[in-house]
């Protein structure tokens, strides 16, 4: 059974903290609040045991991968001082946000397992006693605030723990479980679909949205009592702790309108304590960006986990696929571009608690020499940190955890502290020896992955243009991918090259910078610069970063036509500005329904070819006038001739 997570709510224990005005960032309507952050994703139960007094509850068995192991909020919080293994360690690794699995009270353990993962929630207003108390959560939030670490809580809105039973096709609650859940509306059977398993449900509606997810009780998220109830529950979390974001579990399984009904209430709760750019990202397990983008554009999930990136990055790092596959992935980024979203908001990752760890996945993609696994794992992390998106690293990956057997699900949830699970003591690690009776904390400072993540974080910190800024693919051939990134404030160009070959690769790259030369910030490339062409030799299995010594100066723009036609794969209207330039441009697309009507932004594209996609459901049976405005790096504006588009009625 897959294990996921749920959050809990507390009552007014944190009155003082709730009344504090949390720092509100300058809000960009397109960028989410976490857009520049680096996320550390962690299981509190598997991180560090800070309070052994809570180990005695039913479900504690540190020798079995399916039960609680003793990690808790006190262990994760630590002393909040330098040198400690709690949040201070995570901060030292370069992370700016921490995403924790749910802490709500779980259903009673079964002979086969317990809810150490947080996915079997029944009481959403209290902390599971295995993990601590509400007071421990107060201390955790206060430490994170002190260290300037943003808190991201994993929540579940699609289902609860498995409490409801079936007699044939009739749902019922046994007498001892009539009030098993909290708040009270969760005990009302009419707030559930009650149609059996998602794999074989009965009744109306798609099973993927109405069926029980691996036996867990599926909630009727289309009902006002449900989405308003969840808004009350999770809104209180924000008010009490100043949380910056939610990761929403199984987001593809809720009602299509759920996020439209729920998210505005969550954003209002955040604004009430001064958080003006709260981030909600959903787990939509789909590797096809054409499918994924509709959850953002039509279902109105603010953003999602980037499963297409995960697959593509792991395959490129492994040498299984070449650079053109990565280029093709980024070409789909235009699907996410609207007036309020773009692909830079996607939360990227290499491995997770369900699929397995980064090194294990990279290792599984292609048979390579054992000695290649470490540099290939570093390459995968560099690709995640230095391209677009919000990187998230799964705890333990920084110290080379791999996994045994399939390496997925329970086998990807190792203890950071000294483990009592036999296979975890002896399983291989990348970059270090099997852990034996030791712990992961003692090897962190010397581990090559942890050290590299610190380097990448510091590089982003001192060069904001590398931290999820505008990006242009410059070269993609065989095992070499080269991108340009741009520092808007300095008008400075970076070149980032990724080589997944076991041999050095030499290539000539066209740039927007012709004078001043380039400085190497990462790696040891050989560089020859002639005008705007940079010839670079990238060492085997490595990443290099170059920064231009002077600002962008190749800013000439050739403007052509603006066209719009239906894309047969998506059903959207592909609207393309024919613009040619070596510069890293911004092209903003707009539409209006009549000459006396205001222009409506369709989004801004910063990656050639310059395209947005118009959703026909937003403008059904309307005639649109379209325009595109180009801005080069010197601020000069160009406008393409207008064009028109008539969108027919939707097909019935």
Rounded distance between C-alpha atoms, residue 358 and residue 350, angstroms? 5
Rounded distance between C-alpha atoms, residue 425 and residue 438, angstroms? 8
In a domain, 26, yes or no: no
The packing angle between helices 373-386 and 358-365, to 10°, is: 110
Query: Which of 548, 576, 606 is the endpoint of a domain?
Result: 548
In a domain, 243, yes or no: yes
What pLDDT score was predicted for residue 28? 80
| 196 shares a domain with 71 | yes
Total tally of structural domains belonging to the chain: 4
In 3D space, the residue among 190, 212, 188 whose CA is nearest the CA of residue 201 turns out to be 212
Burial grade of 214 (CB within 10 A; 0-12, 13-18, 19 or more): middle
| 451 shares a domain with 361 | yes
The packing angle between helices 358-365 and 307-318, to 10°, is: 60
Question: 478 Cβ partners below 8 Å, 6+ apart?
Answer: 322, 323, 501, 505
What one-character DSSP code corresponds to residue 183? S
Query: Which of 461, 488, 523 is the endpoint of a domain?
Result: 461
| 437 shares a domain with 532 | no
| 250 shares a domain with 112 | yes
In a domain, 553, yes or no: no
In a domain, 621, yes or no: yes
| 407 shares a domain with 333 | yes
What pLDDT score was predicted for residue 631? 98
Question: At 331, is the secondary structure helix, strand, or coil?
Answer: helix
Tokens matching residue 324: 């053109």
Contact of 615 with 640, CB cutoff 8 Å: no
| 509 shares a domain with 475 | yes
Rounded distance between C-alpha atoms, residue 495 and residue 386, angstroms? 10
Query: Which of 426, 461, 496 is the endpoint of a domain?
Result: 461
Tokens matching residue 195: 């149609």
CA atoms within 13 Å, Cβ hemisphere of 236: 18
Strands 303-304, 279-282: parallel, antiparallel or unpaired by DSSP? Answer: parallel
DSSP string, 209-270: HHSBBTTBEEB-TTSHHHHHHHHHHHHHHHHHH---EEEEETGGGS-TTHHHHHHHHHHHHH
Cα torsion through 229, 262, 144, 107, rounded to 10? 40
Question: At 511, is the secondary structure helix, strand, or coil?
Answer: coil
Question: At 542, is the secondary structure helix, strand, or coil?
Answer: strand
In a domain, 296, yes or no: yes
Region 67-96: mean pLDDT is 98
Q: How many CB atoms lie within 10 A of CB 458?
A: 11
DSSP string, 19-76: TS-PPPPPPPSSS-TTTT--EEEE-GGGT----GGGTTSTTB-TTSTTSB-S--HHHH
Region 101-110: mean pLDDT is 95
Rounded distance between C-alpha atoms, residue 536 and residue 588, angstroms? 33
Regarding predicted confidence, which is higher, 20 or 60? 60
- Residue 441: CATH number of its domain: 3.20.20.80
Rounded distance between C-alpha atoms, residue 46 and residue 130, angstroms? 12
Question: At 281, is the secondary structure helix, strand, or coil?
Answer: strand
| 213 shares a domain with 303 | no
Contact of 99 with 44, CB cutoff 8 Å: no
pLDDT over threshold 90, residue 18:
no
Structure confidence at residue 27 as a pLDDT band (50, 70, 90): low
In 3D space, the residue among 330, 357, 360 whose CA is nearest the CA of residue 346 turns out to be 330
Tokens matching residue 544: 């290099």
Question: At 576, is the secondary structure helix, strand, or coil?
Answer: strand
Structure confidence at residue 6 as a pLDDT band (50, 70, 90): very low
| 562 shares a domain with 505 | no
pLDDT over threshold 70, residue 14:
no
Instruction: State residue 599 phi and psi, 5-degree precision.
Output: -75, 140
In 3D space, the residue among 314, 257, 260, 249 whose CA is nearest the CA of residue 284 turns out to be 249
In a domain, 36, yes or no: no
% of the chain at pLDDT higher than 90:
93
Question: 555 Cβ partners below 8 Å, 6+ apart?
Answer: 512, 581, 583, 632, 633, 634, 636
Region 588-611: mean pLDDT is 96
% of the chain at pLDDT higher than 70:
96
DSSP string, 487-505: ETTTTEEEEEEEE-SSS-E
Distances (CA, A) of 266 to 229, 258, 261, 278: 11, 12, 10, 8
What pLDDT score was predicted for residue 29? 82
Q: How many CB atoms lie within 10 A of CB 441?
A: 17
Rounded distance between C-alpha atoms, residue 190 and residue 293, angstroms? 32
- Residue 499: CATH number of its domain: 2.60.40.1180
> Sheet of 533-538: strands edge to edge?
505-510, 533-538, 526-530
| 632 shares a domain with 537 | no
Strands 505-510, 492-499: parallel, antiparallel or unpaired by DSSP? Answer: unpaired
pLDDT in tens, 438-451: 999 999 999 999 99
Question: At 113, is the secondary structure helix, strand, or coil?
Answer: strand
pLDDT in tens, 389-423: 999 999 999 999 999 999 999 999 999 999 999 99
| 474 shares a domain with 404 | no
Contact of 132 with 19, CB cutoff 8 Å: no
In a domain, 21, yes or no: no
Structure confidence at residue 575 as a pLDDT band (50, 70, 90): very high
Helices (H) and strands (E) in the chain, counts: 14, 30
pLDDT in tens, 118-149: 999 999 999 899 999 999 999 999 999 999 99
Helices (H), 535-617: none
Contact of 616 with 605, CB cutoff 8 Å: no
- Residue 599: CATH number of its domain: 2.60.40.10
Name the strand (E) or helix (H) holding 449. Answer: helix 448-462
pLDDT in tens, 317-349: 999 999 999 999 999 999 999 999 999 999 999
pLDDT over threshold 50, residue 11:
no
Catalytic residues, by residue number, are 249, 283
Residue-range definition of the domain harbouring residue 623: 558-647
Rounded distance between C-alpha atoms, residue 533 and residue 517, angstroms? 10
Rounded distance between C-alpha atoms, residue 456 and residue 548, angstroms? 18
| 601 shares a domain with 535 | no
pLDDT in tens, 197-224: 999 999 889 999 999 999 999 999 999 9
Q: Which residue has the tokens 């290539």?
A: 507
| 316 shares a domain with 400 | yes
pLDDT in tens, 512-568: 999 999 999 999 999 999 999 999 999 999 999 999 999 999 999 999 999 999 999
Q: What is the CA radius of gyration of the chain?
A: 25
Stated length of the chain: 652
In a domain, 25, yes or no: no
Per-chain mean pLDDT for the chain: 94
What pLDDT score was predicted for residue 187? 98
Specify the pTM.
0.95
What pLDDT score was predicted for residue 26? 53
């Amino acid at each position: 059974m897959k294990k996921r997570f749920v959050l809990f709510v507390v009552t007014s224990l944190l009155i003082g903290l709730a009344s504090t005005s949390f720092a509100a960032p300058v809000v960009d309507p397109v960028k989410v609040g976490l857009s520049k952050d680096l996320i550390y994703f962690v299981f509190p139960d598997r991180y560090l045991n800070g309070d052994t007094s809570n180990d005695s509850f039913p479900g504690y068995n540190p020798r079995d991968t399916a039960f609680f192991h003793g990690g808790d909020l006190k262990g994760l919080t630590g002393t909040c001082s330098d040198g400690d293994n709690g949040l201070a360690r995570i901060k030292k690794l370069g992370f700016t946000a921490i995403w924790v699995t749910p802490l709500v009270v779980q259903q009673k353990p079964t002979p086969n397992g317990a809810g150490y993962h947080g996915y079997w929630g029944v009481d959403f207003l209290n902390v599971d006693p295995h993990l601590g108390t509400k007071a421990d959560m107060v201390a955790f939030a206060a430490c994170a605030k002190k260290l300037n670490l943003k808190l991201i809580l994993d929540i579940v809105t699609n289902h609860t723990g498995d409490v409801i039973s079936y007699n044939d096709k009739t749902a019922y609650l046994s007498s001892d479980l009539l009030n098993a859940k909290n708040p009270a509306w969760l005990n009302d059977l009419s707030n559930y679909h009650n149609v059996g398993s998602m794999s074989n449900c009965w009744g109306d509606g798609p099973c993927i949205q109405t069926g029980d997810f691996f036996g867990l009780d599926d909630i009727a998220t289309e009902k006002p009592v449900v989405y308003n109830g969840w808004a009350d529950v999770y809104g209180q979390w924000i008010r009490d702790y100043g949380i910056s974001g939610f990761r929403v579990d199984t987001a593809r399984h809720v009602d299509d309108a759920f996020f439209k009904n729920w998210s505005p209430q969550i954003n209002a709760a955040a604004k009430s304590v001064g958080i003006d750019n709260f981030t909600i990202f959903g787990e939509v397990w789909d590797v096809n960006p054409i499918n994924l983008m509709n959850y953002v554009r039509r279902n109105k999930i603010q953003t999602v986990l980037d499963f297409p990136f995960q697959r593509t990055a792991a395959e490129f790092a492994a040498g299984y696929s070449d650079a053109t596959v990565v280029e093709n992935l980024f070409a789909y980024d235009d699907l996410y571009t609207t007036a309020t979203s773009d692909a830079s908001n996607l939360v990227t990752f290499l491995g997770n608690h369900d699929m397995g760890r980064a090194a294990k996945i990279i290792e599984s993609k292609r048979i390579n020499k054992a000695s290649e696994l470490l540099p290939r794992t570093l390459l995968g992390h560099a690709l995640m940190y230095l391209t677009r998106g919000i990187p998230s690293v799964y705890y333990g990956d920084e110290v080379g955890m791999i996994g045994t057997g399939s390496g997925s699900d329970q086998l990807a949830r190792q203890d950071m502290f000294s483990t009592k699970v036999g296979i975890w003591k002896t399983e291989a690690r990348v970059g270090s020896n099997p852990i034996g009776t030791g712990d992961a904390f003692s090897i962190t400072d010397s581990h090559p992955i942890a050290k590299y993540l610190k380097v990448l974080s510091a590089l982003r910190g001192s060069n904001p243009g590398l931290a999820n800024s505008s990006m242009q693919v410059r070269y993609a051939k065989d095992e070499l991918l080269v991108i340009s990134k741009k520092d808007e404030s300095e008008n400075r160009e970076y070149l980032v090259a990724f080589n997944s070959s076991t041999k050095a690769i030499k290539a000539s790259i066209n740039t927007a910078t012709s004078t001043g030369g380039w400085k190497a910030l990462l790696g040891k490339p050989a560089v020859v610069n002639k005008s705007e062409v940079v010839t670079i030799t990238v060492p085997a299995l490595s990443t290099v970063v170059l920064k231009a010594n002077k600002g962008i100066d190749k800013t000439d723009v050739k403007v052509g036509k603006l066209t719009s036609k239906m894309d047969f794969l998506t059903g959207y209207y592909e609207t393309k500005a024919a613009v040619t330039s070596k510069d890293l441009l911004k092209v903003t697309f707009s539409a209006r329904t009549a000459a006396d009507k205001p222009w409506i932004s369709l989004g801004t594209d910063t990656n050639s070819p310059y395209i947005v996609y118009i959703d026909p459901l937003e403008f059904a049976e309307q005639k649109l006038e379209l325009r595109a405005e180009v801005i080069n790096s010197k601020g000069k504006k160009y406008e393409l001739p207008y064009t028109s588009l008539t969108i027919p009625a939707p097909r019935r």
